[in-house]
Amino acid sequence: MGVTDLKELFAFQDLERFRTASLKDRRHPLKRLFFPLDHDEAMVSNTNLALDWIFKLDPKWIKTKVRDLVALDNFEAVSSFLGEVSAYGLLLSTGLRIKPHRGKESGPDFLIDDCVCVEVHAKQSEPAERLALQRHYESPKAFHPNSPFGAPSAGDSVTTVAIQKVAQIKQKEEQKKNQFSPTSPSILWIDFQDETWQLILGPESALPVNLWNDEYYSGVLWYGFYGWKGAPIFEGETKLQRPRRAVARMQHNGRFRNNTNIDAVIVLLMQYTFLFENPLSSKPVSPTIMEKLLRLPNVDATWTLLNESVGDLSQRIEKE
């Protein structure tokens, strides 16, 4: 079952298209799934588990999704499809009752127990960066700076841009559509399993500050949701030396500090899953559902921030 069953939903000529697809800014997402390299093992394992549950409980959904996936050469569309597959199947694995969105009207991708909205976002690198990296692969240079969140402009840095982009995930959809409910609990599921993020984003990004080679770095995911305007952003500072530059400051609040309908976030990396709860939510996800969400594969308490697990989450965030 799983990946093998998904393969059987595609015609032979389509599988050949995936196998022989040219490298762009990354490999074709279905080439990576169906013809993986060694370092794709964790992503394949996650997707295989998700597909096992989907084929077992809702095979019609996956068959319809494949039938509607007409833009097979559109890497972004295929990555979005795989993000939804991972979210649906892994949510099913928790034992919760999951209902996918059907119909053409806008709405959340999934409902948990008919009361919690889940919107999925398979994070892609910025369009300009995708094009620049593709051009680099076509005409290789000695060095190409890879900034999937976007290249910094004057006065910015790679870290400040990354924090800003994280804080803006699905922001336009929240403002203009009804993916996140103003009255019911809503979860944003972010999938970072795309090949782009393999060497860019690790679980330490979920910490406010992490230490690497005796230097301090701010965690872009933590700051993107819990940070505040004016918060210091560390980019290689040490205890023993004066800062190599003026310490940057956040120019905006993290997503949870703004007026948002998002009550929790689930982040899926290839080898880690963690949950962030919004400490300012007026309609939090129930403890019963949160407890079951902790059954998701590879959930690590080190990177997870929930009221039930840390006591008063608001106080914890302020202390950090």
The per-residue b/e assignment along 169-198, b for 16 or more CB within 10 angstroms, e otherwise, is: bbeeebeeeebbbeebbbbbbbbbbbbbbb
| pLDDT attached to residue 153 | 85
pTM score over 0.75: yes
| pLDDT attached to residue 192 | 96
Q: In sequence order, what are the residues at sequence separation of 6 or more whose Cβ sits closer than 8 angstroms to the Cβ of residue 234?
A: 209, 216, 217, 218, 247
∠ at Cα 188 (186, 191), nearest 5°? 155
Q: Please report, for the chain, how many H helices and E strands are present, in that order.
A: 13, 11
| pLDDT attached to residue 244 | 58
- Asked whether the beta carbons of 305 and 313 are under 8 A apart, the reply is yes
- Which residue is associated with the tokens 């030396």? 241
| Mean pLDDT per 10-residue segment, the chain (320 residues) | 94 95 92 95 96 97 92 92 98 97 84 95 91 84 80 86 94 78 95 90 92 87 96 78 71 93 96 95 95 94 76 65
